[in-house]
Amino acid sequence: MKLYGIGVGPGDPELLTLKAYKILKGVDMIVAPRSSEEKRSRALHTVEEVIKERDCIVVEPVFPMTKDQAKLEQYWKKAREEVVAKGNSCETAAFITLGDPSMYSTFYRFLEVFNDLVEELEVIPGVTSFSACTSTAQIPLVEGTEIVSIIPDVKAKNAMRVIEDSDSLIFLKPKDLDKIEDMLGNEKAILCVKVGFEDQRLVSGKVSEIEEPTHYLSTLIVKKGTKSLEVKRRIL
């Protein structure tokens, strides 16, 4: 089987690349991960207009957000069984993921689990969520020799060092804004929620003024020392 790992971008269907669009129009099976039985795959939601008149197999395996390895293994096993059962006559399959497949995505874990079935592989990059955030907020993330870092979890081993050494920071799913303020200082920031979706929301202010986001698709962007990190008039 030929497998495509496709980044579908941050959620706005118009940010799908032309290459991804063409592959999704022709592929035999689409595998779209979701976080629970009750929820639809956000990646699938992003491409539904592209595939709505297509007669292709769609599998939505559940990969719950848990650090419990034993539980995860069970879900991976189930995902493998489902994909193999439904796709055994398929010559091509696409695993779709939000943003880019190389950025905190399940795609490379999927590849490990299905490696023996994959004869050929092609990975299609996607617009990352933080590119969509900075474009929507209309701010330069870094310029000249400035350094930007991505913090997936403020409890990560090197988080403090990275925060100190970077000019700009991208905090994924920022949960503990008090801790971020302690580590960073009360810098100006922009919180971007569900960028690219119809109900996207941008909030700017000092870290202490921003309310903790509850939605998983939330990103906090900080450009240190800046006085003008504000959501501009024309955005919302």
Cα→Cα distances 173→78, 152, 219, Å: 27, 7, 6
Shortest distance, CB of residue 134 to ligand SAM, whole angstroms? 11
Q: What tokens appear for 161 in the block?
A: 């060092």
Alpha helices in 140-221 (DSSP H): 159-165, 177-184
- What does the alpha-carbon distance between residue 193 and residue 220 come to, in Å, rounded to a whole number? 9
- What does the alpha-carbon distance between residue 2 and residue 127 come to, in Å, rounded to a whole number? 23
166: contact with ligand SAM by CB under 6 A = no
Q: How many CB atoms lie within 10 A of CB 138?
A: 13
Which of 41, 46, 92, 128 contacts ligand SAM by CB under 6 A? 128
Alpha helices in 93-158 (DSSP H): 107-114, 129-137
10: contact with ligand SAM by CB under 6 A = yes
Which of 44, 59, 133, 191 contacts ligand SAM by CB under 6 A? 133
80: contact with ligand SAM by CB under 6 A = no
Which of 46, 92, 129, 204 contacts ligand SAM by CB under 6 A? 129
195: contact with ligand SAM by CB under 6 A = yes
Which of 103, 124, 169, 231 contacts ligand SAM by CB under 6 A? 103
Shortest distance, CB of residue 209 to ligand SAM, whole angstroms? 19
Shortest distance, CB of residue 30 to ligand SAM, whole angstroms? 17
75: contact with ligand SAM by CB under 6 A = no
Contact flags string 14-53 toward ligand SAM, x per CB under 6 A: ----------------------------------------
196: contact with ligand SAM by CB under 6 A = yes
Helix axes 69-87, 107-114, angle to 10 degrees: 70
Alpha helices in the chain (DSSP H): 18-26, 42-51, 69-87, 107-114, 129-137, 159-165, 177-184
- What does the alpha-carbon distance between residue 58 and residue 189 come to, in Å, rounded to a whole number? 39
Binding site for ligand SAM (CB under 6 A): 10-11, 97-100, 103-105, 128-129, 133, 172-173, 192, 194-196, 216-219
